[in-house]
Amino acid sequence: MERETDFIIIGAGAAGLAAAVYAGRADLSTLVLCEGGVSGGQALNILSLENYPGLFPAPGGAALAEAMEHQARAAGAAFESARVLEVRKEGDRFTVVSDRGTCSAGAVLLATGGEPRKLGVPGEETFAGRGVSYCAVCDGPFFRGKPVAVVGGGNSACDESLYLAALASQVTLIHRRDQFRADPAVVSRVRAHPNITIKYNRVVKEIRGDKKVSSLILGDTLSGAEETLAAEGVFIFAGFVPRSSLAPGVKTDGEGYVLTGDGMETSVPGLFCAGDVRAKPLRQIITAASDGAIAAVSAGKYLRGRKA
């Protein structure tokens, strides 16, 4: 894959796809690089987009992602399956190196999102794929009729608990605090569900099993007491680590999220950032799409200004 283009978008989640639509409509020659060749990002893990305005009844995240990709292609954006290895700026252009070759552009959008944050407890790595999961929609059906645990206190943990409650024999939601960070409406449904038990002020200290997960050791954050919870699956939603390592020298915050201006511009001229990898107060599909639209418009202005 050797090509020159106006605008390269790295990542095909909601931010990258929205940017591709806007860039294509602005007649920018646009290339979207998507690792694994599947668009959607975190949207693929969402069973029902209940909080996306204007889409009601709520579609699934995969359906929205598919529609956005079709829309971007219709606008003229090209898509390539590639794992990006490096981004570097040479003069006034960027070179993007991937496992499929290199390409260059006058502007680049980093829309790489993040990856699940690990708990870092004994047994987590050992039982990854054998009872430890970070995606209920992906792996939930394997635990039909079995007891499972969900770890976390945000929207993802609560949403996935509700999804799993329809499959598992029992769902235990483990949260290290005494209050959830999730939206009150979602929390109300979790508390009211007869198949969900909530354990507040608890942390997972160890994941145990033989060939697969069989139990968790929980620690009480107030008393320090430990207890054993029987579970054949544990679904972890402890946040995300931003995939910002590709950004060539951009400024980030203390957690590694990329700092941008209102136009999604980074500290490197011509490099823009959108979606979950960007430092911002709310990470939702709708805000990622908004970021992507703004970034594409800003990239167009940047490229036109450079040619003037």
Report pTM. Answer: 0.80
Domains of the chain: 3-115+240-307 (3.50.50.60), 118-236 (3.50.50.60)
The per-residue pLDDT for 276 is 93
Q: Is 273 an active-site residue?
A: no
Closest C-alpha among 264, 265, 244, 262 to residue 253: 244
Measured in Å, how far apart are the chain's first and last C-alpha atoms? 30
**Rounded mean pLDDT of the chain?**
93
The pLDDT of 174-183, averaged and rounded, is 94
> Given its phi and psi angles, is residue 29 left (phi above 0), alpha (psi -120 to 50 degrees) or beta?
beta
The pLDDT of 172-183, averaged and rounded, is 95
- As a whole-number percent, the residues of the chain with pLDDT over 70 amount to 99
User: How far apart are alpha carbons 26 and 182 in whole angstroms?
Assistant: 37
Instruction: Check 27, 92, 99, 138 and give the catalytic one.
Output: 138
Q: Do the Cβ atoms of 213 and 131 come closer than 8 Å?
A: yes
The per-residue pLDDT for 42 is 81
Q: What is the pLDDT of residues 110-152, one digit of tens each?
A: 999 988 899 999 999 999 989 999 988 778 999 999 999 999 9
Q: What is the pLDDT of residues 40-52, one digit of tens each?
A: 888 887 777 888 8
The per-residue pLDDT for 308 is 55
How confident is residue 295, by pLDDT bands cut at 50, 70 and 90? very high
Instruction: Check 135, 220, 262, 273 and give the catalytic one.
Output: 135
Neighbours of 260 (CB within 10 A): 25
Backbone phi, then psi, for 155, in 5-degree steps?
-60, -40
Amino acid identity for residue 290 in this structure: S
3-class secondary structure, 126: coil
Q: What is the pLDDT of residues 1-49, one digit of tens each?
A: 688 999 999 999 999 999 999 999 999 999 999 988 889 888 887 777 8
8-22, 190-204, 221-235, 277-291: which has the minimum mean pLDDT? 277-291
Say whether the peptide bond before residue 57 is cis (omega within 30 degrees of 0): yes
The per-residue pLDDT for 115 is 85
Q: Is 158 an active-site residue?
A: no
Q: Do the Cβ atoms of 245 and 161 come closer than 8 Å?
A: no
Residue 191 or 255, more confident: 191
Q: What is the pLDDT of residues 50-96, one digit of tens each?
A: 888 998 998 988 899 999 999 999 999 999 999 999 999 989 999 99
Asked whether the CA dihedral 32, 37, 42, 48 is positive or negative, the reply is positive
* 306, pLDDT greater than 60: yes
The per-residue pLDDT for 1 is 64
Three-state secondary structure string covering 158-197: HHHHHHHHCCCCEEEEECCCCCCCCCHHHHHHHHHCCCEE
Amino acid identity for residue 131 in this structure: G
The per-residue pLDDT for 78 is 96
Instruction: Check 6, 139, 183, 220 and give the catalytic one.
Output: 139
- As a whole-number percent, the residues of the chain with pLDDT over 90 amount to 80
